[in-house]
Structure 1
């Protein structure tokens, strides 16, 4: 009999599975981000103390991340597009809540990277538009957020910035490894196909 944890893992794997490897990659990243969001208030409490009110509003984006695999079943392109859109929306919301001193805008980098990687050459316009949206959000909104919901001291902002930089770097590295594996699988398939033709 499978344990509850095993049942949950199997259910998650089934939820993110998709025959299109790029869609499956988007699904995996989306569920990973959503599964990490509940820990953010704990990180914030540890870093800056008891005033973690802004953290609760970041959960507004969680349903959009969780919806990516479901949307992908309906339309793979829409599901792939939803991931960077949810990431950009969450980053803009977080920058407004915490202020730009938190360095949370650095998450726009993996959002733009995902937009470029998730779409094939013939779909490149969609990727370019989403990437332009990510960097446009920084260029147009960075100085326009106004006072954040909560303000912290210099040490707290430095700690929050370190957390966001490390988290964004880890996410970017995960995306790089994920797509490196996709490329390796494609190369292996191509070699196998050539071997069958010459055999």
Structure 2
């Protein structure tokens, strides 16, 4: 269920990077989803019967803290440099999780790698000031939010998440396609920035 709402917040934040949603306009959703992504794993960790179960829930905090950080930054009018450097840590941890997922669920390896790309882009835009990557990051979020969150959440909620190698290879191919399409759209799609693209959105 948490993954479903992460899809929503990534989509809205992607629109923010494209200049279609203000930072303050997206703040409430970030705070709500961020809180959800902190409360749920905390409950799960308290009830975890063993270390392996706890370890599977712990990475969710990376994303919960991200969305809380985004919401607080937007409402307080803070710059995004701290969030950007935190995002570099999240990107590295996402790569670690991708490697750990290879044997059990190759599709989730693709998802973790896509998240690693997203948070790497947050680092480049927010911490290093690579503003030329803002539209690319926005499109990666808009497209990737549904590939990595919405669709997997719906499949998982209905008990239909496949773990076959073939599905994993397909997921990897789709992840590459999403990043490629985002690069094309960032170059060719007309800018529709009716509001300034926020430096604090992620």
TM-score range, shorter chain: 0.3 to 0.5
Relative contact order higher in (CA < 8 Å, ≥ 6 apart): 2
Q: TM-score, normalised on structure 1? A: 0.36
Structure with the largest fraction of helix = 1
